[in-house]
Structure 1
């Protein structure tokens, strides 16, 4: 009888001690992963994939879309959130490198107001010509394009999704480094810009590789080079612009995870380890390949240095473009 009472007492005590921990686990709030763009795009799809795959390590991760002002509204929401690791953002080249120079006022500092977690992915852009234009002008390489443009200043034009878009900035950087003159034709978005290229309204674009790939393979567009520092595994036959005569040329679409500034380092390291493990998983790499995205996990320190370098680079590029949003 005494032994039974002893067992009952210890079982009850163990349950009492475990209950607060269980209650804490059940009441621990989920991690909110803010996507500062509308649902449906590649960045949103990848954020949802990461949220799903990170749940074993981090618990419930919920994606919340907060679009507006080119990504500034969602990024600012996270910058002003509690630095406890429960609110993070999928930032991008726009929110953390381009917008601070493009917009007359950005409500956050891209460096001081965030704690980098990891770079997530880089998506190559590609220099493409209308296939008929390329054949007519006998342009089959970046070198031939530059030679034609130098011999015919102002004769070529290029389209983009609008002033200050990635395609516009890539075109201005290309013009400067190549020492050529081309006319910029801004469209109201990437889809109209691609239609303008396919119809021959413009000669060339710096387009997203995932968007342009189907038309490249169909022979409607002539791809000359990718804009990333390395060749794309999706189209390894395409050289980079850097290896085609413009050393150091590098423009791509990237995105990565940030927490609010002053988030404890231990929390940042835990988030980094969880998301890096997800990014290295074979099934996740395969899903990224469907978006022609390159998984690019880093340490928090590496990502922080990368963002600083990108911010400095785009200061010059945006000023060169003359683009400004009030």
Structure 2
């Protein structure tokens, strides 16, 4: 028995040595970077902006693989079930924290291994010319004079941040805007311009060109401070609704049980990418604001986001697609 225990100890020690050696040599082959959204979207643009830096920093190709479907669920599921060796990483957005409350998933997002909070894109509430309000405060006052449900808003789909942001506005302002979902942000914007809907929350990169062209006007930006590229747009807090804290954020996750040395290696690499002066300028020009931090920082933020989305879905009585 004593000899058997010694053999078992030796085997475990050898396996541990091999795992540690593999981690120390990471990476030594190409890395697949799953982006659970379609090509050309903000997630894809963000990933491809920092992809060359990551490839150079890690010394191995980092291949962006778009796996769009079900508001990110398809790509997230593939990433969740990948081998936890650091050669498949998931570039996800805020939808990963909302999806469990809106649709059936075959994975538990809480079991993802968080790497880093990369950055975010703020949302601007846009209105068409039929809306005579100049800001969010005036808009809420106007809505309250109308019969419930007579003012419509468009979004890029159920569970998208534009949808959830407006439902949070409904909750905080005690109003009742009716949701008309579309398949994409451009379609939602077109609906607002044409008068099919009256307002829409959109990312700054899409909203600001519409504002400059005079097709839609801004009511407020859901950001803690006024934006450098849109200093004239008041924040939701300035308009009396500091509780509307919602944006499209992006972060890196790994499959469950990925070893900590790999997590730390990737955290360091992505932190270097988003703090590189040249990349930072490119991202901010696209309305993307880099964040960064430790895996623990991201884990704490991710959990708080899940609690927030659970509250919105529950209070707004948004029906899950799985029902």
Q: How does 1:124-273 map to 2 (within 5 A)?
A: 124-130=122-128, 132-134=129-131, 137=132, 139-154=133-148, 155-273=150-268
The Cα of 1:109 is off from its aligned counterpart by: 0.9
RMSD over equivalenced CA pairs, Å: 2.1
Q: How does 1:37-52 map to 2 (within 5 A)?
A: 37-52=37-52
Decide whether the 8 Å contact of 2:34 with 2:65 is kept in 1: yes
Decide whether the 8 Å contact of 1:120 with 1:295 is kept in 2: yes
Unaligned runs of 5+ in 1: 1-20
Decide whether the 8 Å contact of 2:82 with 2:88 is kept in 1: yes
Flag the 1:87–1:27 CA change in 2: closer, same or farther, 3 A: closer
Aligned with 2:309 (options 308, 314, 325)? 314
TM norm structure 2: 0.86
Q: Secondary structure at the match of 1:251?
A: coil
Q: How does 1:100-139 map to 2 (within 5 A)?
A: 100-103=100-103, 105-112=104-111, 114-130=112-128, 132-134=129-131, 137=132, 139=133
Q: Secondary structure at the match of 2:238?
A: helix
The Cα of 1:157 is off from its aligned counterpart by: 2.1
Moved segments of 4+, more than 6 Å: 24-27
What is the CA–CA distance in structure 1 between the aligned matches of 2:34 and 2:136, rounded to whole Å? 39
Partner deviation per Cα, 1:5-48 (whole Å, 9 max, x = no partner): xxxxxxxxxxxxxxxx9xx9799222221111222222112212
Unaligned runs of 5+ in 2: 1-20
* Structure 2 equivalent of residue 28 of structure 1: 28
Partner deviation per Cα, 1:235-261 (whole Å, 9 max, x = no partner): 132221122101221111111111112
User: May I ask how many residue pairs the two structures share in their alignment?
Assistant: 297
Partner deviation per Cα, 1:295-319 (whole Å, 9 max, x = no partner): 1112111111111011111012123
What is the CA–CA distance in structure 1 between the aligned matches of 2:26 and 2:146, rounded to whole Å? 68
TM norm structure 1: 0.85
Q: How does 1:40-79 map to 2 (within 5 A)?
A: 40-60=40-60, 61-79=62-80
Decide whether the 8 Å contact of 1:229 with 1:249 is kept in 2: no
Q: Secondary structure at the match of 2:157?
A: coil
The Cα of 1:321 is off from its aligned counterpart by: 4.5
Decide whether the 8 Å contact of 2:27 with 2:58 is kept in 1: no
* Structure 1 equivalent of residue 17 of structure 2: none
